[in-house]
Copies of this chain bind each other. A is one copy, B any other.
Amino acid sequence: MGQTHSSESAGFMIVGVIGGGQLARMMIPAAVNLGIEIRVLAESDGMAAGLAASDVGDYRDRDTVLAFAETVDVITFDHEHVPQEILRELVERGVRVHPGPDALLYAQDKLLMRAKLSELGLPVPDWARIENAAELGDFLDAHGGRAVVKTARGGYDGRGVRVVSAAHEADDWFIALAEDGRGGALLVEEVVDFRRELAQLVARRPSGDVAVWPVVETVQRNGVCSEVIAPAPQSTGRVADVAAEIAVTIANGIGATGVLAVELFQTTDERLLVNELAMRPHNSGHWSMDGSTTSQFEQHLRAVLDLPLGGTESRGAWSVMVNILGGPAEGSLADRYQAALAEHPTVKLHNYGKDPQPGRKVGHVTATGAELDVVVYEARATAAFFQD
């Protein structure tokens, strides 16, 4: 496929994005600028990426995904939830899928991810695969009586993650796995004594080139990213080098294509441990839309099309991104524009076009500048206009 579409549309490259959320939405400006046609398979009407939605349907339905793939040159994703069997059928049919199923596996299954990272010799928290409460008890005994239990699949933004201090506290998950009958297991990890969380983004194209942005500091509230500082303060030298090396090793080691986000713990004893992977543009990279020569969304499109990657120089000394979580209690984000934009003319506002709802990521703001305290203030003060 692919070539027919390209020649039909004056040499445009058509990227198909599965999933219609804000990540797909934020690919649209990059696609428009680069002259790339973007088509989205959205879960429903009126989603954040609705402007580019060419199809509406269920990404778990084989026929829906196959029909969508027929209309594009390369398939990529707003999320990592497309079932492996569908991804593999696409590849068998000659569709270019980036990231491919072999790589996506490690974003879909945290047990496989942990095993792979250990195999690659990368620093990770102590972990184990556990199938029952007895095994959880053993792990707790060996790790000071506390541990983090995670479902291998389906968790995000803090869901599917539980800190436990007794072996029975994951019983409901063990029961669900037994009922599921597919021989699944849970992941248990030591509770890491971390000083802060970092994220390292890397882009990799199929032919192998990689590009990294500066490592950033991420601040979570209730398991959800609330703020990102780019670059991470006090991260020149060793921390930056190690973070970049970890991300590049992972990207090459699993054959990731597109943007890969590596969430890291910086421990109180100054080690970096890999926490999670995301294999797509990531909340920790939103600052790059305004703060970097190449945004993560443009870079992702370049990478999945196997085009040369763009420069990742920062546009200012500091960029701070603050998420708008939930939005106003009444009305819409737009109701606050007059006040917010008048007060903060240099802060860049991104509104995902979603209805406000408690906890929901409905937008973000990014400030960029020379003085970190000013930039942090500008970003936080602007975001505050949009939350009650």
Contacts and interface: CB of A to CB of B under 8 A. Distances in A.
Nearest to A352: B35
A204 B32 CA distance: 26
Contacts of A331: 11
A309 to B, nearest CB: 7
Contacts of A332: 10-12
A113 B25 CA distance: 42
Nearest to A316: B315
B10 A353 contact: yes
B35 A29 contact: no
A164 to B, nearest CB: 40
Interface in A10-61: 10-13, 25-26, 28-30, 32-35, 37, 51-52
A64 interface: no
Size category, A interface: 35 or more
Contact of A33 (B311, B345, B348): B348
B308 A34 contact: no
Contacts of A26: 32
Interface stretch (A79-87, A167-175, A261-269, A333-341): A333-341
Q: How many copies does the complex hold?
A: 2
A313 interface: yes
Which of the listed residues A10, A352, A354 has the most CB atoms from chain B within 10 Å of its own CB? Answer: A10
A353 B52 CA distance: 16
Contacts of A13: 334
Contact of A29 (B33, B294, B313): B33
Interface in A121-144: none
A70 interface: no
Interface of A: 6, 10-13, 25-26, 28-30, 32-35, 37, 51-52, 289, 293-294, 302, 307-311, 313, 315-316, 331-335, 337-338, 341-342, 345-346, 348-355, 363
Given A35-B333, A293-B346, 15 more contacts: A10-B354, A11-B331, A11-B333, A12-B334, A13-B334, A28-B28, A28-B29, A33-B289, A34-B349, A35-B349, A294-B345, A307-B337, A309-B345, A310-B346, A313-B346
